[in-house]
């Protein structure tokens, strides 16, 4: 398994956010060397180059821009991804997930989606109070947004850690069959979740799923989130149970961080997945590193 790293420095889904700085900031913490400590091959495919003229917009115009970026991601991923790899996409706001997830689906990969987030991200332009597209991207993936193809069946997606949902998206989430659990509900039902999970999964991790006390560097904080120990336990358990073929780390806003707490939380989440994968693959049940 090769870890295929690609940065997606975008704030197209959230115009006020500095999440576009996330990939560069994490690289300053020696991200690639950090990944290599797990004993896996790591290929750094650099940051995706966003068109300079693409200024963030809201609503339907923003949807079109995010779709264009996703198409660019799909083309790039197709150049290097091979079955058995782990695609690690570092954002950027959560709109980056449209490209990373649809890229693997376009290559024929089948997987369940584990969406770890304080928010449902299942709005449409008609239901979103803000018009920000990062709150619509899961709906886009499931075909519940104007003009978006259905890349996923909502019944194979789980939103874990949700606690800040808009009324309109609640209706759409139920209609799509997406499983939605609060942080407490996630931990209480983790055994059942793991039992029913497909052999291959994609984990899309929004740092605002963490409580703001341990991850202040996000654009849309919501109290009552996971502790870092809880979320790393969750991600490790998922990785021990199923093959993680894709991992998003999104919504890191360096301008709001304190003492690199959120950056280190992002690295800890990556460690949890890679260590869990090592445990799953090791014949002794002990991580190779």
Per the CB < 8 A criterion, the answer to whether 157 and 138 are in contact is: yes
Residue 53 lies in a domain: yes
Preceding amide of 92 cis, omega within 30: yes
Our measurement of the distance from residue 58's CA atom to the centroid of its chain's CA atoms, rounded to an integer in Å, reads 21
**Strands (DSSP E) along the chain, which ranges?**
3-8, 42-47, 86-91, 112-116, 157-160, 179-181, 200-206, 243-250
Residue 287: per-residue pLDDT: 47
CB-based contact 203:160 (threshold 8 Å): no
The answer to whether residue 12 is domain-embedded is: yes
Q: Is residue 130 part of a domain?
A: yes
Task: State the total domains in the chain.
Answer: 1
- Whether 36 and 107 have beta carbons less than 8 Å apart is answered as no
Instruction: Tell me what pLDDT residue 288 has.
Output: 42
CB 244 within 8 A of CB 270: no
**Residues 245-261: tens digit of each pLDDT:** 999 999 999 999 999 99
Indicate the helix (H) or strand (E) that contains 62. helix 59-80
pTM of the model: 0.95
pLDDT in tens, 90-101: 999 999 999 999
- Has residue 135 been placed in a domain? yes
265 falls within a domain: yes
Backbone φ/ψ region at 241: left (φ over 0), alpha (ψ -120 to 50), beta: alpha
- Backbone Cα Rg of the chain: 17
CATH number at residue 242: 3.40.800.10
Q: Write out the residue range of the structural domain in which residue 102 sits.
A: 3-281
- Cα gap 274→271, rounded to integer Å: 5
pLDDT of res. 289: 41
- Residue 54's pLDDT is 74
- Residues 172-182 as b/e (b if ≥16 CB within 10 A, e otherwise) read bbeebebbbbb
Can you read off the two tokens belonging to residue 234?
């969750």
In this prediction, the residues of the chain whose per-residue pLDDT falls under 50 are: 286-289
286 located within any domain = no
Residue 287 lies in a domain: no
Tell whether 288 is covered by a domain. Answer: no
Contact call for residues 92 and 8 (beta carbons, < 8 A): yes
Task: Please tell me the predicted confidence (pLDDT) of residue 56.
Answer: 77
DSSP 248: E
* Surface-to-core class of residue 134, CB atoms within 10 Å of its CB (0-12 exposed, 13-18 middle, 19+ buried): buried
**Distance separating alpha carbons of residues 266 and 84, to the nearest angstrom:** 23
């Amino acid at each position: 398994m090769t870890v295929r790293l690609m940065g997606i420095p975008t704030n197209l889904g959230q115009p006020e956010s500095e999440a576009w700085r996330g990939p560069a900031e994490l690289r300053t913490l020696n991200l690639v060397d950090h990944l290599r400590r797990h004993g896996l091959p790591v290929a750094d495919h650099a940051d995706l180059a966003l068109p300079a003229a693409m200024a963030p917009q809201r609503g339907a115009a923003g949807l079109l821009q995010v779709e264009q970026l996703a198409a660019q991601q799909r083309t790039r991923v197709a150049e290097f991804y091979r079955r058995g790899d782990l695609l690690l996409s570092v954002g950027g706001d959560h709109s980056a997930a449209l490209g990373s997830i649809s890229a693997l689906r376009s290559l024929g990969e089948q997987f369940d989606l584990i969406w770890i987030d304080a928010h449902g991200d299942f709005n449409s332009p008609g239901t979103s109070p803000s018009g920000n597209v990062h709150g619509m991207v899961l709906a886009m993936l499931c075909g519940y947004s104007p003009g978006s193809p259905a890349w996923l069946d909502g019944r194979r997606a789980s939103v874990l850690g949700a606690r800040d949902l808009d009324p309109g998206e609640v209706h759409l989430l139920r209609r799509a069959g997406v499983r939605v659990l609060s942080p407490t509900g996630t931990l209480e039902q983790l055994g059942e979740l793991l039992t029913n999970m497909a052999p291959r999964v994609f984990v899309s991790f929004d740092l605002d799923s963490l409580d703001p006390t341990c991850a202040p560097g996000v654009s849309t904080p919501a109290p009552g989130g996971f502790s870092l120990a809880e979320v790393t336990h969750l991600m490790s358990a998922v990785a021990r149970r199923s093959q993680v073929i894709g991992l998003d780390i999104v919504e890191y806003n360096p301008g709001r961080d304190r003492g690199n707490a959120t950056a280190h939380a992002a690295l800890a989440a990556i460690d949890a997945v890679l260590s869990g994968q090592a445990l799953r693959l090791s014949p002794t049940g002990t991580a190779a590193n």
